[in-house]
Amino acid sequence: MRDTMFLRRLTLFFPMAIFLTLVGFFFYRLVLIEKGNTPNMIPSVMINRPVPVFALPSLISGKPLVASAALKGKVTLIDVFASWCVPCRVEHPLLASIKEAGIALVGINYKDRPEDALLWLEKLGDPYDAIASDRDGRVAIDFGVYGVPESYLIDKQGVIRFKQTGPLTPEDIRDRLLPLAKELNK
């Protein structure tokens, strides 16, 4: 008799137990979002891989080739952009703050007409240390770019350590990019 009472009690406890487990999962998921891990974020296969080998002409005529070999030795942000891309315009003013933090800034001008790109930079300012012109988008394929803007943070050994699909926001730069770069610079 007491056993059946106990069983009945246990059954009644069941819904609450399931529910509390769910709440635990939800809470932990929210904590992850707070840390920047959103469910939309698909980890790039490029993370922790060396930068694809490339050598592209500079956007600005007369300057030397922009090549992957030159990336070693300093922490670099590679930013894929285009003059026809609206979100790039949103991201553009923020790039200066990245350079100020001591990160080298290399642009890859993606599927763009050089004259358009130059005009764009003239209007909005040129924060880049070097800009490669990837007119047919071949190098971008090696990087796994599927939308502009995209940016990759490269460590001193030339390994990709962080990737952002879409424009960088002030929060991304403050909370994720700069702390990581600081660590890589140690």
Partner 1 sequence: MIAEIGHFSLILALFVALFQAVFPLIGAARGNRAWMGVAEPASFAQFLLVATSFGALTWCYVASDFSVLNVAQNSHTDKPMLYKIAGVWANHEGSMLLWIFILGLYGAAVSWLGGNLPPALRARALSVQAMIAVGFILFILFTSNPFLRLDPVPANGEGLNPLLQDPGLAFHPPFLYLGYVGFSMAFSFAIAALIEGRVDAAWARWVRPWTLAAWCFLTLGIGLGSWWAYYTLGWGGWWYWDPVENASFMPWLAGTALVHSLIVVERRDTLKAWTVLLAIVSFSFSLLGTFLVRSGVLTSVHSFASDPTRGVFILALLAAVTGGSMALFFLRAPRLKSGGLFAPVSREGSLVLNNVLLSSAAGVVLLGTLYPLFMDVLDLGKISVGPPFFNAVFVPLMVPVVFLMALGTQMSWKRGNLTLALRQLKVAGVAALAALLLTWAMSRSLGASAAMGLATWLFVGTISNLFNRLKPSRLSLSEVWRRAAGVPLSFYGMILAHAGLALVIVGITGSTAWKTEKIQVMHSGDTINVAGYDLAFKGVEEGVKGPNYIAARATFTASKNGKFIADLKPEKRMYEMPPRPTTNAAIHTSAFGDLYAVIGDPNESGGYVTRLYYNPLVPWIFIGAGVVALGGLVSLGDRRYRVGVPSHKVNPKNPVHA
Nearest approach, Cβ of 174 to partner 1 (angstroms)? 17
Nearest approach, Cβ of 17 to partner 1 (angstroms)? 9
Stretch that binds partner 1, among 16-24, 91-99, 157-165, 172-180 (CB under 8 A): 16-24
- Identify residues 36-65 at the interface with partner 1 (CB under 8 A): 38-40, 42-43
Nearer to partner 1 by C-beta: 33 or 96? 33
Nearer to partner 1 by C-beta: 13 or 67? 13
State both tokens at 56. 């592209």
Nearest approach, Cβ of 185 to partner 1 (angstroms)? 28
Stretch that binds partner 1, among 25-33, 57-65, 112-120, 123-131 (CB under 8 A): 25-33
Among 1, 2, 3, 15, contact with partner 1 (rule: CB under 8 A):
15
Nearest approach, Cβ of 41 to partner 1 (angstroms)? 8
Provide φ and ψ at 66, rounded to 5°. -100, 120
Burial of 91 (0-12, 13-18, 19+ CB in 10 A): buried
Give the residue from 126, 135, 117, 118 showing the smallest Cα distance to 56: 135
**CA-CA-CA-CA torsion sign (161, 165, 167, 169):** negative
Start-end of H helices in 35-137: 86-91, 95-100, 114-124
Give the Cα separation of 127 and 143 in Å (integer): 22
CA quadruple 165, 139, 108, 152: dihedral, nearest 10: 40
Enumerate binding residues for partner 1 (CB under 8 A). 8-9, 12-13, 15-16, 19-20, 22-23, 25-30, 32-34, 38-40, 42-43
